[in-house]
Structure formats: C-alpha cells, structure tokens
C-alpha cells in the first residue's frame, strides 16, 4: 500500500488524486496495487473478492433477496478490486471515486469479463447518482482517510439520499485502538471498544497524516448517533477482520455499521 512522502495539508482529495495519478502513469501493476499491499494486480483482485465476501456480502445476504435484480454502489472503488466481486453478485454495480483513472479501471474490469458497472468521479464529498437509485451501498478502507468529521457526516446524508427506501448500507471507518489491533483476543477488542469514549471525548479524532494513512477515527457511539440523525436504523455494529495463514482471525483497524434506510 503506497503512502505519501509527507503530511498532507491541502486536503484529502488533492493528495490522493496526485498520488494515484503518479501510480497510473508508472505502470498498470503499480496502479492496481497502489490501494493495498498486493504483490501484483491479480492478487489485488483476489483480495478484493475476499474482502467483499468477508466484510460486505455476508452482511447484505440476510437482508437482500434477488440480488440479480439489485443495484449496488461502492464509495471509493479505487482500482475496482472489490467492485469486481460486487458486480458478479448484483445486476449492476456503481463505483464512485475521486481519482481521474476510471478509464483504466473500466478496461481492466472489461478484460476480466465484467461489463455490468458504471464508474463516476466524485468531488470527495457528494455522490453523483440520483435520489433513491441504489439498493445497497458500502465503503471499506475509505472513510478512515476523510480528514474532517463533517465530510464523514455528509457522506452519511448522501448515502441515505441515494438508497431506495428499505435499502441497506455497510460502512467501515477508522477506529481508536491500543490493545486489539492485529490481535485475536475478543477481550482486548471489547476493552478498546469500551475505552473509545474516554480516548475520544468528542466521539472522533481528526489526524494530520500522509496520503493513504488514517486521517479520521470515529467511535461507534458517535457514528450510530449521526446515522440515526440522518434517518437510518442502525442494525448492527461491525469491526474489520484479517485472517492469517494459520486460520486465526485478527482484529483490523476499522469500526463498521450495517444501516437500513427507513
């Protein structure tokens, strides 16, 4: 996973667009592996399929019937590694991202036999799709890079706007951890979760950071309250996971929520 060389002070959109463009100008492998730590682009797409299955699909499955008739949207599709997996399970997949390389992403998806998708470039705050137009929405390893809490809150409003009534969203965002990161202890995780309110009295933490490092951490209680204020029913709390070769599941660096649009 690539990172910037210095603390980004111009805003998350500016830095990300520049770094991603540099990667795209280098070669395909650099671009398609920029968004995670994969050794090559094929590995990146395999990991994307795994992430979709582990973090999103199993959360959507109990609430979505006939996915072959449904539209799903990813916020922050990057190089399309997760969107590729989503497109194989839904009628149509929409990807939204700030970078200027959607043509390169579309070519790669087409080369992999995928054509039921639409890609949009966004301004890093708004979703360029109509009201009540998607059945499901998700975001993974993206909202932790929003350096301002108001951007996170606006995205919640936007997700609610574009979802159809009864639609489902699965969103992940940076969490505050000390004892549980990359560990398999549920007690350590529960301790970190309980301590969020003390470690982040405002409910969130805005961090100066290099591009592609964590800019924002949000407590579950704060995120729940904001989601409810936007009109969502909060169905479930989540935490990201990592599975290592010996089969042990470790806790990752993101909180998550499953949200229903009322």
In a domain, 4, yes or no: no
In a domain, 100, yes or no: yes
- What value does the mean pLDDT of the chain take? 94
Structure confidence by residue, pLDDT tens digits, 15-53: 999 999 999 999 888 999 999 888 999 999 999 999 999
Q: What count of other Cβ atoms lies within 10 Å of the Cβ of residue 68?
A: 8
What three-state secondary structure class fits 105?
helix
Q: What is the pLDDT of residue 152?
A: 98
CATH number, domain of 20, equals: 3.40.50.150
pLDDT of the residue at 246 = 65
Of 256, 227, 12, which is closest to residue 125 (Cα–Cα)? Answer: 12
Q: Which domain holds residue 69?
A: 12-261
C-alpha distances (whole Å) from 244 to each of 21, 64, 182 are 32, 30, 10
- The average pLDDT across 171-186 equals 96
Answer yes or no: is 6 within a domain. Answer: no
In a domain, residue 208? The reply is: yes
Strand pairing partners for 97? 121
Structural domain total, the chain: 1
Q: Say which residue the tokens 């909060």 belong to.
A: 234
d(CA 93, CA 48): 15
Instruction: Note whether residue 40 is domain-resident.
Output: yes
pTM here is: 0.95
Residue 234 lies in a domain: yes
């Amino acid at each position: 996973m690539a990172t910037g060389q210095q603390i980004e002070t111009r805003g998350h959109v500016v830095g990300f667009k520049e770094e991603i463009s540099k990667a795209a100008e280098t070669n395909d492998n650099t671009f398609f592996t920029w968004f995670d730590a994969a050794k090559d682009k094929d590995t990146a797409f395999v990991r994307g399929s795994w992430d979709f299955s582990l973090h999103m699909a199993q959360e959507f499955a109990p609430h979505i019937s006939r996915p072959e008739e449904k539209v799903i949207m990813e916020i922050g599709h990057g190089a399309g590694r997760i969107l590729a997996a989503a497109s194989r399970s839904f009628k149509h997949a929409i990807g939204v991202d700030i970078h200027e390389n959607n043509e390169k992403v579309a070519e790669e998806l087409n080369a992999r036999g995928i054509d039921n998708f639409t890609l949009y470039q966004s301004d890093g705050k708004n979703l360029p799709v109509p009201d009540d137009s998607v059945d499901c929405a998700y975001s993974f390893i993206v909202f932790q890079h929003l350096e301002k809490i108001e951007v996170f809150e606006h995205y919640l409003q936007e997700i609610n706007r574009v979802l159809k009534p009864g639609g489902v969203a699965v969103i992940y965002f940076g969490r505050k951890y000390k004892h549980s990161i990359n560990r398999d202890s549920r007690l350590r995780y529960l301790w970190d979760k309980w301590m969020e309110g003390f470690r982040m009295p405002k409910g969130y933490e805005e961090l100066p950071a290099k591009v592609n490092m964590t800019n924002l951490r949000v407590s579950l209680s704060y995120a729940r309250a904001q989601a409810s204020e936007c009109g969502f029913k909060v169905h479930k709390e989540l935490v990201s996971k990592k599975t290592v070769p010996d089969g042990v599941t470790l806790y990752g660096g993101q909180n998550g929520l499953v949200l229903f649009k009322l």
